A and B are shown apart, each in its own frame.
Chain A
Amino acid sequence: MAACKYDYPPAGHHELIGKSIDRIDGPEKSSGRAKYTYDMNPSGRLIAKLCTCPYPHAKVKSVDVSAAKAMPGVKAVLVVQGPGSEIQWAGDEIAAVAAVNEQIAEDAVRAIKVEYEQLPHLVREEDLKRAESESRTKPAGETTTGDPSKAFQDPDAVVSEGYYGLPVITHCCLESHGSTVEWTDAKSLKTWTSTQNVSGGPGQFGKGLRLRKVEVEDGNIETICQYIGGGFGSKFSPDRWGMEAAQLAKMAGAPVRLMLDRDTELMMAGARPSVFGKIRVAARKDGTLTAWDSDTWGTGGVGPAGHPPLPYVLEVPNRHWKHTMVATNIGPSRAWRAPNHPQACLLTMSAIDDLAAKLQMDPLEMLLKNVNLAPEVLRKPYTEELQKAAELADWKKNWHPRGDKTPGHIKRGMGVSLHTWGGRGHFSNCNVIIRPDGSVTVQLGSQDLGTGTRTVIAIMVAETLGLPVDAVLVQIGDSKYPPDGASGGSTTVGGVSSSTRRGTINARDELFAAVAPALGVQPAQLEAWDGKIRVKDDPSKSLTWKQACAKLGVKTIHATGKNPGPCMLTNSGVGGVQIADVSVDTETGQVKMNRIIAAQDCGLIIDMKTAKSQVYGALIMGVCYSLFEQKVMDETLGVMLNPNMEFYKLATIGDIGEFEVHMMTGPGYDERGVIGLGEPPVISPGAAISNAVANAIGVRVPTLPITPDKVLKALEKGAMA
């Protein structure tokens, strides 16, 4: 098959792709010079604060902002949810205030008098019976495939039953949600927004503001986000408070910065839905999975939150799943890195691990045996990744059957899990500019969440033009650049790599056309390599990059590229396998992370360094939700008890253990094109760690986070059994 025009350069013909390259904005960040939304101080900017509801469920009876309005230094007060509004979670905003500084804004918020009628609430969902008795449940789906009841009754079937779950956790972005906004004239709005969706910003602001009777055209709105302090799926829109900032700015005639306070951030700006449930899973004695039955429930606040795809990855031939949503007043759910997958993975991989224990089988062998139940595209990767991870963990030597028999109170165990994600590149558009002076600029309305998007774009342009990375100026993070997709679902790297490759080849071909006569060849005979434009068959005939660009005369090349487009540059469907190694103190219930091993594929890797960082980060985030995190709600009060960073526990640098990350590359992987990596590695840690703990102590700790009390309780229960 003839190579497609825009294909990535073949193996062995890479200068940059796949190498470990420093992120290009690293110096800006590590020197504190990177400017985030929270750092924007346009001249005369006011500070806005929200007056929030203290109750989980209430009707607003009256709002009196007169005292706040009368305060010197207060420039604008806006009632957001006035009398009659029904509030569904504590922390929801009632009014917003803009003042000359933080202190006065706070004073003004406290001066707002709101009367509420309190309504019944529910904030804890693990007790399904209670939720049912309060009419808080709603079916969220049920499917039967094959004949599960018959399969479970098969006399050859070995059945394992268990209860598993994980609570609601929050995103806890270090930069809270918010915007700094400025009306640059009566009709034009400039917003710095902490967003995963720069190109979508103007449309979101425009629509939101027009709904609020603020006349503005999308085309007169610019959204900027050069740097964002974390998103993880919670920052796809400027949110209601973004509109409020713009309204306050309009009212006050001055720029306004409105960033959520930490407690509000944790209460309402991001939550991952919980899932709890009973699972039965059956296999033949040789470990072949035959039947699955799950009855699960969870909450994502008052609204729906999807359901976990159960059974996860492995399509057990006879299966039934049913999921129930519980409506709670805990604040709304948001997409959290790999929505629904970590939940489904924990439930499935724990249940299979328990079944393997019952079968007295090595769980890694059992997964290998059942890989053929995975979608076909994943079977080979899973097999190779299971083998690779096993090799790195020295699984054969280090794994032991459930329950570490070593004397003493420290028990060590290993657990394995696998996961998948799509990750096809999203729509993307770029401009590639080559100037006669040799300078190269690439522009996209994309954003870098810290994943390395800027760096990947620079590498792709540089590779295509045969230039060093620092020869490319990457301009992103501004809606004035060509529109690009939101960074969610691991779609960015595939999108921007594809559009940039196409755009740069288009630009390069224009340059070749301009240069070819000087070298006395056809443009098709040229290549860009090592800072030169040279003749493929006779590399001695060449021009330096600068000389070549000078041939443009006064013409500047403006090429464009987009995704989707011709040639297979991005793809969907990756696999990954993780093995966790933990030590558990059976006297105190403390779990210590020793190591996590990750084998992960994601098609063609552009920058090995930032790719590995994505995996390290995901594993550490995984340790956080496996051992520490949960949104703690008090049922009497209906409020979150841990809306600060002391009580909302995140792992610190000493809590994480070691990591070994192996990226799958080479034939079978590279030619698939570029696939996203943000979500997949964050899916398995919960299951791998839970399985490792079970392997260490001999019993399952049914729910995350695996805290000392739960470990001790599981041990006690295990001892009694």
Chain B
Amino acid sequence: MRRKKDRPQKAGSKNSSFTRRDFLKGAGVTVSGGLLVGSAAVKAAPPPAEGGFVGPDAVPVTLRVNGKIHKLKLEPRVTLLDALRDDLDITGSKKVCDRATCGSCTVMMDRKPVYACTVLAIEAEGHDITTIEGLGSAEKLTPVMAAFVKHDAQQCGFCTPGFVMASTAFLQRNPNPTMEEIEKSLGGNLCRCGTYQGIRHAVLEAAKEMKGGAHGSM
């Protein structure tokens, strides 16, 4: 009767193509993400293993975030969300459920909205990643952001970037949404303070604004 996280390492993992010990030995010098924990310690990438497998040690990963290239060394198990937040200090995307449920981590990959908590960073390579920082700023709000302010579609604000990302992606795909479509499309985001009332109004208004074209495409 043990919960998953508390279970000790399964004996089976010794049978893998690497040993636990090897990994740990590697991990000591192959810390992920040079930016915050010191890049001097990063060692060269191991050659791809048989069959094209890489890892489990950190491997070079190049991420293009908001148009900027970042070269990192990450284990394959590092999610895009953790890489953005912990390695690149791009923290607009929040870590909340960490299980593809609440939408707080939403970013766009090639303009499509995804839960960054369940995208591996290594898989984001080669794609254009847009975080909320890449859409606008407090000084230059996008129509969606401005509508969220106007309709007070935010309280604590922790879910807000995810809602703004999902709303933006949704409106790009569907510029003339019905309320039912809004509710289904934003049904993958959760708010605890109870800002949905404002969000509904904000998204409808942003749709009008974006069609007006006065504020560009986003």
Contact = CB atoms under 8 A, between A and B. Distances in A.
Contact of B32 (A44, A103, A111, A451): A103
Contact of B36 (A43, A103, A175): A43
A709 to B, nearest CB: 23
B158 A174 contact: yes
Contact of A110 (B8, B77, B191): B8
A653 B150 contact: no
A174 B156 contact: yes
Interface in B1-55: 1-3, 5-9, 24-25, 27-29, 31-33, 36-38
Given A41-B36, A621-B192, A100 B31 contact: yes
Contacts of B195: 613, 616-617, 620
Contact of A653 (B101, B133, B182): B182
B152 A33 contact: no
A44 B192 contact: no
B99 A646 contact: yes
Contact of B196 (A47, A261, A449, A656): A656
Contacts of A174: 94, 96, 102, 104, 156, 158-159, 190-192
Interface residues of B, number: 82
B5 A31 contact: no
A537 interface: no
A28 B156 contact: no
Contacts of B157: 25, 28-30, 34, 227, 229, 450
By secondary structure, the B interface counts as loop
A230 B37 contact: no
A644 B198 contact: no
A53 B7 CA distance: 10
Given A35-B91, A175-B94, A263-B5, A72 B29 contact: yes
Interface string B159-200: 111001000000000000000101110110111111111111
A110 B156 contact: no
Contacts of B159: 174
Contacts of A190: none
A322 to B, nearest CB: 34
Query: Interface residue tally of chain A, by bracket?
Result: 35 or more
Contacts, number: 241
Contacts of A173: 192
A119 interface: no
Contacts of A104: 27, 31
B196 A620 contact: yes
B196 A653 contact: yes
A637 B1 CA distance: 7
Contacts of A449: 155-156
A38 interface: yes
7 contacts: A31-B133, A39-B91, A103-B32, A103-B75, A103-B78, A227-B158, A261-B98
Interface of A: 22-23, 25-36, 38-39, 41, 43-45, 47, 51-55, 71-73, 90, 100-104, 107, 109-111, 113, 172-176, 227-232, 259, 261-263, 449-451, 609-610, 612-613, 616-621, 624, 637, 639, 644-646, 650-654, 656, 659
Given A30-B153, A610-B152, 4 more contacts: A30-B148, A31-B133, A39-B94, A609-B152
Interface of B: 1-3, 5-9, 24-25, 27-29, 31-33, 36-38, 75, 77-78, 82, 85-86, 89, 91-99, 101-102, 104, 131-133, 135-139, 141, 144-146, 148-150, 152-161, 164, 180, 182-184, 186-187, 189-200
